[in-house]
Amino acid sequence: MSFYFAVLVSIVLGAFLSAAFLWDRIYIRQYRDRIRENVYHCMKCNSIYSSRAAGDSAVCPVCGYRNGRLKF
């Protein structure tokens, strides 16, 4: 009887762990692109924008001024 209980508990725990792993992978895939975006604040025209370009600065799409990225 205890063997069957151990098998049942193992199956239930395996199902929960599998569901948690799959949910985590789906969540990461869904927000992967947003994580890689950098947020910038233009010091000249006071607009806030984002860019996926690599580096610590990007050109403002409104006025063309090069700004550094925001660090939180």
Q: How many CA atoms lie within 13 A of 60 on its CB side?
A: 16
Sequence-ordered alpha helix ranges (H) in 1-72: 2-35
**49 and 72, same structural domain?**
yes
**31 and 47, same structural domain?**
no
Q: Which residue has the higher pLDDT, 70 or 66?
A: 66
**45 and 20, same structural domain?**
no
Q: What is the number of structural domains in the chain?
A: 2
Q: What is the pLDDT of residues 10-65, one digit of tens each?
A: 999 999 999 999 998 888 887 776 677 888 999 999 999 988 877 788 999 999 99
**70 and 45, same structural domain?**
yes
Instruction: Tell me the residue range of the domain where 44 lies.
Output: 37-72
Positive or negative, the CA dihedral 15, 16, 18, 22 is positive
Q: What is the pTM of this model?
A: 0.52
Nearest to 47 by CA among 67, 19, 33, 32: 67
**43 and 22, same structural domain?**
no
**41 and 27, same structural domain?**
no
Contact in structure between 44 and 26 (CB atoms under 8 Å): no
